[in-house]
Amino acid sequence: MKSIAIGLIVLGTISVYVAIVNRNNKHSSVKQKILKAFYPAIMKLGQTKSMILVNNSKSEPIIDFYSLSFQQIDGTPFDMQQLKGKKVLIVNTASECGFTGQYEALEKLNQLNLNRLVIIGFPANDFKAQEKGSNEEIQRFCKKNYGVSFVLGEKGIVEKKDNQQQIFQWLSQEEKNGWCNQQPTWNFCKYLIDENGTLTHFFSSSVDPLGKEITNALQ
């Protein structure tokens, strides 16, 4: 009961701060700093709600993963063929989310696995309008605040609705990836694809990029 009470106090405090900051969008940088400060508490509270899906049946994709396409955040096409032979972690991201601190963990994971893992972040404004910036603003924010060097795609739609990005259509439709119908439930959900283009795991937002669940899946 004590931990629940503490959690409610923390969440209440966050809500008050965010409500104050949201009165004027020009203070978004303040909001980002507040969320970054509360990130450890948010992650701890979210651990009990983590969801992980695993391709235990080893189902192979119906549509070739490497046949997909997307534009990078600077507008240039990304060559999917360079992903062959490496694991790929795809994450839907946002700059004003309680989980935005995961950018730091994702960059560390990227640096630890440069030769065998490619991380691709896809900024999206789907959840509570927490990614309102332009591609240029998002790119600057990620570089300045978290030193992000992994691949970022253009901002787009990741939920199952009109104009859902092609990559996320594949990730969230069984008839395309072979087994998974799970769309992102919030910002910073993660999908792991193996060296042969097979979707192997889905991790919900509260799963730490540096936690044992993901590091074990990378083995």
For the chain, give the mean pLDDT. 88
pLDDT tens digits along 28-77: 568 787 877 777 777 777 666 799 999 999 999 999 999 999 999 999 99
- In this prediction the pTM is 0.84
- Tell me, yes or no, if 97 is annotated catalytic: yes
- In this prediction, residue 13 carries a pLDDT of 46
Cα 141 versus chain centre, distance: 16
Predicted confidence (pLDDT) at residue 5 exceeds the cutoff of 60 = no
> Annotated catalytic residue: which of 97, 142, 180, 189?
97
Q: Are 88 and 177 contacting, i.e. CB atoms less than 8 angstroms apart? A: no
Give dist(CA 213, CA 51) in Å, integer: 11
- In this prediction, residue 48 carries a pLDDT of 64
Predicted confidence (pLDDT) at residue 186 exceeds the cutoff of 50 = yes
Cα-based distances in Å from 219 to 8, 105, 214 = 37, 18, 9
Cα-based distances in Å from 119 to 60, 92, 113 = 21, 11, 10
pLDDT tens digits along 79-129: 999 999 999 999 999 999 999 999 999 999 999 999 999 999 999 999 999
Residue 21 pLDDT class (50, 70, 90 cuts):
very low
